[in-house]
Amino acid sequence: MTPEEFGYVRPSSLAEAVAALAQPGAKLLAGGQSLLPLMRLRFAAPKTLVDLQDVAELRGIEARGEEVRIGAFTSHVDVAAGAPWQALREAAEQTGDRQVRRLGTIGGAVSHADPAGDLPAALLALGARVELVGPEGRRSLAIDEFFVGPLMTAAQENEVLEAVFVPAEGKGSGSAYRKLRQEASGFALVGVAARLRLDGAGRCVAAGIGVTGVGFTPYRARATEELLVGTAVSDVEVEKALGAIVQDIDVASDAYASAEYRAEMCQLFGRQAIAAAKAQARS
């Protein structure tokens, strides 16, 4: 199918993009890898597309004090090559195929909020935050307050996601992302990102676990994180912590995987992600 007719504008600054988005029926276009298929199916019919490709403020990865800023228009390829944290690079590397990774952007992936999106799981594990800019100014939101439902976020319709901020990697830290792919689409049937910080004695002093493909939104497995902190991350302690990874989650069941299978795979891929994060933290 072809999309309904639409207008097209190409702002060259963030301020111009915010002004263009304020027009009725306007929608932002980043890599188009999620939005254009929806338009072709006529599930989305924006009056005007506001193309972000010329907005320089939205590009690039740079250190900012205790954080690293990743501009919203940074492609999955560039995140895979240049972002901090192994979990984030691995999530970008495992997103879609080569074309999707070259065109798709971190801001588009986060704003699209697919319940099986890869980057959201890594960002949740890292305790990232996002900055949004709208007509009222700029605001910051923790990533775990951002995903509010399937394809739904806490952003207002008139806000542009400017950048994602992740904490800088500290000494004794490690992270990893492990994913069970749905063969045809490549999307995660289950994806688990783990971040650990170990002290000199090998004890876990901080943990982040992000899960995707399992619930109605990507989520942070807080109970598992709490059970890991203070332990030596031994096999027994990891098993106990993983016992809580789908706690309070309505686990998805569909033609590709039953809820029981997903819950089981969540433990398996969680175990792998934690083991890889631990090995890196100790190296």
Ligand X SMILES: Cc1cc2nc3c(=O)[nH]c(=O)nc-3n(C[C@H](O)[C@H](O)[C@H](O)COP(=O)(O)OP(=O)(O)OC[C@H]3O[C@@H](n4cnc5c(N)ncnc54)[C@H](O)[C@@H]3O)c2cc1C
- Residue numbers at the binding site for ligand X (CB under 6 A): 27-35, 37, 52, 72, 95-96, 100, 103-105, 107-109, 111-112, 114, 117-118, 160-161, 185-187
DSSP 256: S
The secondary structure of 10-74 as a DSSP string is --SSHHHHHHHHTSTTEEEESS-TTHHHHHHTTS---SEEEE-TT-GGG--EEEETTEEEEETT-
Helical residues (DSSP H) of 182-221, grouped into ranges? none
CB of 172 to ligand X, least distance (A): 29
CB of 29 to ligand X, least distance (A): 5
- C-beta of 30 vs 274, nearer to ligand X: 30
Among residues 35 and 274, whose Cβ is nearest to ligand X?
A: 35
State which residue, 28 or 238, has the beta carbon closest to ligand X. 28
Q: Give the nearest distance from C-beta 130 to ligand X in angstroms.
A: 9
121 or 207, CB closer to ligand X? 121
The answer to whether 89 touches 48, Cβ cutoff 8 Å, is: no
Segment 238-242 long-range contacts (CB within 8 Å, at least 24 positions apart): 238/271, 238/274, 238/275, 239/271, 241/274, 242/266, 242/267, 242/270, 242/271, 242/274
For the CB of residue 110, give the shortest distance to ligand X in the complex, in Å: 8
Comparing CB distances to ligand X, the nearer of 59 and 112 is 112
Instruction: Evaluate whether 159 touches 132 at the Cβ level (below 8 Å).
Output: yes
Least Å distance between CB 30 and ligand X? 3
